[in-house]
Structure 1
Amino acid sequence: MQNSLHRPERKPENPQFSSGPCRKRPGWSPEVLNAALFGRSHRSAQGKAKLKEVIDLTREILGIPADYRIAIVPGSDTGAVEMALWSLLGPRGVDIFVWEHFSGIWATDITTELQLADCRVFRADYGDLPDLHQAAPDRDIVFSWNGTTSGVRVPDGAWIAEDRTGLTICDATSAAFAMDLPWSRLDVTTWSWQKVLGGEGAHGMIVLSPRAAIRLTDHSPPWPMPKLFRMVSNGLLTEGLFAGETINTPSLLAVEDAIDGLHWARDIGGIAALQKRCQRNFDRAAEWVARSNWCEFLARRPEIRSQTSICLKINDPTLDPSEYPQIASAVARYLARENVAYDVNAYRTAPAGFRFWGGATIETADLACALEWLDWSYHAVRQSMRT
Structure 2
Amino acid sequence: MSAKPATTPERPWFSSGPTAKRPGWTPQALSGAPVGRSNRSKVTVGRIRQALDMTREILGIPADYKVFMMPGSDTGAFEAAMWNLLGPRKVQLLAFENFGQLWADDATQHLKLDCEVLSAPYGQLPDLTQIDPTADLVFPWNGTTSGVKVPNADFLDGHQGLVLCDATSAAFCMDLPWDKLDVTTFSFQKALGGEAGIGVLVLSPKAIERLNTFDSGRPIPKVLRLKKKDAADPAIMGGDAINTFSFLVIEDYLDALRWGQREGGLDGLIGRCERNAQVLFDWIEQTEWVDFVAEVPETRSTTSVCLKFIDPAIRAQPADVQAKLAAKVGSLLELEGVAFDVTGYRAAPPGLRLWCGCTVEADDIEALLPWLEWAYAAAVEALKVEGVIA
Q: Deviations over 1:146-186 (max 9, x none)?
A: 00000000011110133x32100000000000101000110
Question: 1:170-181 residue pairs with structure 2 within 5 A?
Answer: 170-181=165-176
Indicate whether 1:148 and 2:155 are aligned.
no
Indicate whether 1:83 and 2:80 are aligned.
yes
Q: Number of residue pairs matched?
A: 382
SS for the counterpart of 1:215 is helix
After TM superposition, where is structure 1 displaced by more than 3 Å over at least 4 residues in a row? none
Q: Identify the match of residue 298 of structure 1 among 289, 293, 297.
A: 293
* Cα distance in 1, alignment partners of residues 174 and 333 from structure 2: 29
Give the superposition deviation at 1:267.
1.4
Q: Identify the match of residue 386 of structure 1 among 377, 380, 384.
A: 384
SS for the counterpart of 2:117 is strand
State whether residues 312 and 355 of structure 1, in contact with CA within 8 Å, keep that contact through their aligned partners in structure 2: yes
Q: Identify the match of residue 200 of structure 1 among 180, 195, 201.
A: 195
* Cα distance in 2, alignment partners of residues 363 and 212 from structure 1: 37
Q: What stretches of structure 2 of length at least 5 have no aligned partner? A: 386-390
Match of 2:135 in 1: 139
* Cα distance in 2, alignment partners of residues 314 and 303 from structure 1: 21
Question: 1:257-296 residue pairs with structure 2 within 5 A?
Answer: 257-296=252-291
* Cα distance in 2, alignment partners of residues 123 and 310 from structure 1: 20
Match of 1:348 in 2: 346
Question: 1:213-292 residue pairs with structure 2 within 5 A?
Answer: 213-292=208-287
Indicate whether 1:360 and 2:358 are aligned.
yes
Q: What stretches of structure 1 of length at least 5 have no aligned partner? A: none
Match of 1:39 in 2: 36
Q: Deviations over 1:95-144 (max 9, x none)?
A: 1100000110100000000011x211110000110012211111100000
Give the superposition deviation at 1:6.
4.1
% identical equivalent positions: 47
Give the superposition deviation at 1:383.
2.0
State whether residues 49 and 244 of structure 1, in contact with CA within 8 Å, keep that contact through their aligned partners in structure 2: no
SS for the counterpart of 1:271 is helix
Give the superposition deviation at 1:334.
0.6
Q: Deviations over 1:295-350 (max 9, x none)?
A: 00111111000000011111111232323222111111110111011101100000
TM-score of the pair, normalised by structure 1: 0.97
SS for the counterpart of 1:263 is helix
Match of 1:121 in 2: 117
TM-score of the pair, normalised by structure 2: 0.96
Match of 1:98 in 2: 95
* Cα distance in 2, alignment partners of residues 348 and 316 from structure 1: 20
Give the superposition deviation at 1:231.
1.1
Paired AA for residue 156 in structure 1: N
Q: Deviations over 1:354-386 (max 9, x none)?
A: 011110000111112222201111112212333
Q: Identify the match of residue 321 of structure 1 among 317, 321, 329.
A: 317
The worse-fitting range, judged by mean Cα deviation, of 322-331 and 333-342 is 322-331
Give the superposition deviation at 1:204.
0.2
SS for the counterpart of 1:321 is coil
